Structure 1
Amino acid sequence: MTVRSTAPKDTLGEELVRFDGVVKRFRTSLGRRQTALDGFSMTIPRGSVVGLLGPNGSGKTTALKALLGLVRADAGTIRAFGRQLPEGQALVASRMGALIEGPAFTASLSGERNLRLLGELHGVGAETVAEALELVGLTQAARRPYSGYSLGMKQRLGVAGALLAAPELLVLDEPMNGLDPEAVRDMRALFTRLRDERGMTIVVSSHILAEVELVCDRVTIVRHGTVIRDGPVGELLDRGTVHTVVRVEDVTAARSVLERAGLAVTAAVGPQGPELHVGATAADPGPALLKVLAEHGLYPQELRLRQASLEDVYINAIREADAARGATGAAGDVG
C-alpha cells in the first residue's frame, strides 16, 4: 500500500483537527427543531488514536459527519489540516478516510472486487487492495461474495476501503460493531500499527469501552451534543473515583451497616456475584471497613481497592450530565 510520508516526529501531538463551539440542529418529521451538537468543542492531536464516546443520540456521528463535510454546521468552526471547513473541504478530502454508519458495498460482488472498484476512484491498483485486505484479515475471504459476509467481516471490509487512499486521518464510526473478541483484538492491533508505523491519526467512536481504554491515547465523552469529559486516557483514569470492592455473604446487612457509618455505598454485580462498592476515603480503607463490619458480625470474603476504569469514568460523566440536564429541563438530542 502506498503510504504518504509520516509526519515528522516533532509534529506529532500538534493539533490536526479542532472543533470550536459547533452547533447543528435538525428539523424532525413533525417540524420540530432538535439539537445534535450544542457548542461541541474538541481537538484531535496529530499521530494519536482518539476515542469518541457517548450514548446513542449524543452527537458523535453528527460531529464526524461535520468533519467529513457530510453535514454543515449551523454555527461554530471546524478546522482540519490548517484549513477552515467546509470551505477547504475539497483540499483536505483526499487526506481523510472514513467509515460512517456502516459499510455499503454491492452484495453480488466479492469483497476483493468491491475494493477494486473503490480503488479505481482513488487511483490505486490490485497490490494496494490486496494489502488492505491483509491488514484487516480478509485475505482468505477476498473472493467470497459480499452477501455471504458476516456483520464483522463487512465492518472489516469497510475499514479496508477507508485505508485504500492511505489517509493521514482515519475516521471510523463503530468499526468494532459485530466483531468477535479475536477480531476486536486484531482491530486494536491494526490501529496501533497504523499509528506507530505510519504516523496515522485515528478517530474512532465505539461502545466497547475496555478496548477504547487499551488502544486510545485520548478520549472525548459526549452527551447532549456537548463534550463533558476530554483528555488523555491516563489523566481521566487518575481523576476517576477509587473505591473498595466488598464481597460479603449478607450484602443487604453489610450495606446498611456501612451506610450508617456514613460511607457512600453502591450495589454491583461482579464476576463472582453481588458485591458492594464503597467510596474510598483513605489510601488503604480496608482495615477501617473490616473493623466496622466485624463489629456487626459481618466478615468479608473479599476486600480490595479498585482504581476507576474508563467505564467508571464514562458512567459517572453521563450520570452527571443527565442530572444537570434534568435540573435545567433541556430538550432531548439527536445524532
Structure 2
Amino acid sequence: MRKRGIFFTLFLLSALSLFIGVKDLMLQALLQGDAQQWLILLTTRLPRTISLILAGATMSICGLIMQHLTQNKFVSPTTAGTMDSARLGILLVMLFLPNASTTVRTFSAFVFAFLGTMVFLGLSRLLPTKDPIFLPLLGVMFGNIVGSVATFFAYQFQLIQNMSSWLQGNFSLVTKGSYELLYLTIPLFFIIYFFAYFFTIVGLGEDVAISLGIHYQLTQLAGIGLVAAASGLVLIMVGSVPFLGVIVPNIVSLIYGDHVKQNLWITALSGSLFLMTCDILSRVVIAPYEVPVSLTVGILGSLIFIYLLVRRKQG
C-alpha cells in the first residue's frame, strides 16, 4: 500500500511540475491545441520533469548499491569521491579536447569516477577503526582533495564558471535535446536489478560471499562500474545533487529492510519523489525566480542526515 502511495504521489507531483514555471500553462489551452503552450510543454517542462524522475531514481539507486558494496550506510557517490573524480575527468577533457562530444565527456567522467571510487575503497581498507562514520568522512576528505585539484586547473585555464555549473545540480536549463543521455540510466537500472541478489550477498561480507560461491572482488568491481557510469551520466546532464544517495536508501531500509532486489523499485520511486518535491520548492520559494535544486536538497538532506546519525547513535 505504501508503494502505491509513493507512486501516486510521484504521479501527482510530476503533473504539477509540468504547470509550474515563469510562463503559465493552461490545461484548457493545451486541450485546444495552442501551439505556444505545447511548445513550452514539450521543449522545457516535460524534459525537466523526466530528467528529475531519472536523476532522482539513479542517484538513490547508486547510493543503495555503494552502501551494500562498502557495508556502510553513509556512503554514496557524493561521499566517496565518485562525483568529484568524475568532475576532474570532465575538466581534463575540456582542457585537452575542448571540442570533444558529450559522449567523450561522459566516458571520461565514467573512467575517472570508477578510478576515484577504487582509490577510495583502497584507502578504506587502511582505516584502523570500524566506526561507520569514519568511512564517509574519509570519502569527503578524498573528494575535497580531488575537487581542489580540479578547481586549481579550472582557475589556471579560466574554466571556473563551467566548473561551478557542475557543482550545483540545476534543472532550470534542461530542455529538449540536452538531457536525452539520461535515458541510458534505464538499461543500467535493469542491469543493476539483474545483479541485485549478488550485491545483497556482497553486503553481508567477503567471507559469506565466498562461502556462497560468489566472486567478491569481481562483483564489487561490477557494482562500482555501474555506479560510476550512472553517476557520470547524471553529472554531465544535470550536475551533482548532495545527500540524495545517502538519505533515500537509509529511509527505505528502515521501512522495508536491506534486501537490494526488493528495495530497488521503491528506492528509485522514493528518490524521484524526493528530488521532485525539492525542485518544486526551488521553483516556488522565490517565484518567479528559482534557486538551484541542489541547495534545497542540501538543506533538507542535511537535516535528515543529522537525524539518521542521531538515530543510529541512540540505537
Same fold, TM exceeding 0.5?
no
- Report the structure number with the largest CA radius of gyration: 1
Q: What TM-score results when the alignment is normalised by the length of structure 1? A: 0.21
Q: What TM-score results when the alignment is normalised by the length of structure 2? A: 0.22
Between 1 and 2, higher relative CO (CA 8 Å, sep ≥ 6) is seen in 2
Q: Which has the higher strand share?
A: 1
Q: Which has the higher helix share?
A: 2
